[in-house]
């Protein structure tokens, strides 16, 4: 499972994405289950984060009587390991300095969370896997929810024409099947003008699907 990381202070219970060891759970429904062999199988939803890095959260905890405390926390979103719980913190580092007779204590923690609120994630793709290969219709999305591409697969390979769209909905790349051995790929600029065309086997365009 891809590691999802972001900083967060609060979340709503009814739209929270729950990360588990072998699946993702949302509103009581489980997605992205794998077979005992480790192969992807069945309905699948790929999630992305609107911010894809760990964010530091820093605050002063207290100051007075010559002693000042500062805490820095990094939030990491992932499935919990055995013995962990939501919000568990691991001390990463600590240090103290004395300045003009006052003591400044600074500690850093890594906080683990397995629940992600809806405003922090989006659906990147939806479809099905059979024996670890994409099968049937898959839809791919931008973080805004606009369609990126819509592809029909068999054994992990496209079987029909498809387009890749820009964020505004205009066609960026057009992929057309000529026959079982050849596909045409045409790229357009933002104004819809053709830039280039190539004809190859579909496997040579794997970066597009």
In total, how many domains does the chain have? 1
Is 12 inside a domain boundary? yes
User: Residue 94 sits in which domain range?
Assistant: 1-136
Is 155 inside a domain boundary? no
Which 3 state secondary structure label does DSSP give 28? coil
Residue-level pLDDT at 10? 37
Is 188 inside a domain boundary? no
Is 122 inside a domain boundary? yes
- Residue in 115, 149, 123, 116 with CA at minimum distance from that of residue 45: 123
- In sequence order, the 6+-apart residues with CB closer than 8 A to the CB of 206 are none
Is 131 inside a domain boundary? yes
111-152 tens-digit pLDDT: 999 999 888 899 999 999 999 999 999 999 999 999 999 999
Handedness of CA 209, 150, 154, 19 (dihedral sign): positive
Is 41 inside a domain boundary? yes
Is 128 inside a domain boundary? yes
Is 201 inside a domain boundary? no
d(CA 85, CA 101): 39
The predicted model scores a pTM of: 0.77
């Amino acid at each position: 499972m891809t590691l999802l990381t972001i900083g967060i202070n609060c979340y709503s219970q009814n739209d929270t994405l729950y990360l588990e060891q072998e699946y993702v759970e949302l509103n009581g429904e489980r997605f992205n289950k794998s077979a005992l062999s480790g192969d992807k199988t069945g309905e699948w939803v790929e999630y992305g984060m609107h911010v894809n890095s760990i964010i530091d959260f820093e605050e002063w905890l207290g100051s007075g009587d010559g002693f000042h405390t500062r805490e820095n926390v990094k939030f990491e979103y992932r499935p919990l390991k055995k013995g962990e719980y939501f919000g568990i913190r691991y001390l990463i580092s600590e240090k103290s300095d004395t300045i003009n007779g006052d003591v400044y204590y600074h500690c850093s923690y890594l906080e683990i969370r397995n629940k992600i609120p809806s405003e922090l994630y989006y659906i990147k793709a939806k479809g099905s896997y059979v024996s670890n290969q994409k099968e049937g219709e898959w839809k791919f999305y931008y973080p805004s929810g606009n369609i990126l591409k819509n592809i029909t697969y068999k054994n992990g390979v496209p079987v029909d024409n498809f387009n890749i769209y820009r964020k505004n909905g205009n066609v960026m790349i057009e992929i057309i099947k000529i026959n079982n051995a050849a596909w045409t790929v045409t790229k357009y600029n933002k104004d819809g003008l053709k830039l280039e065309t190539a004809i190859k086997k579909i496997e040579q365009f794997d970066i597009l699907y």
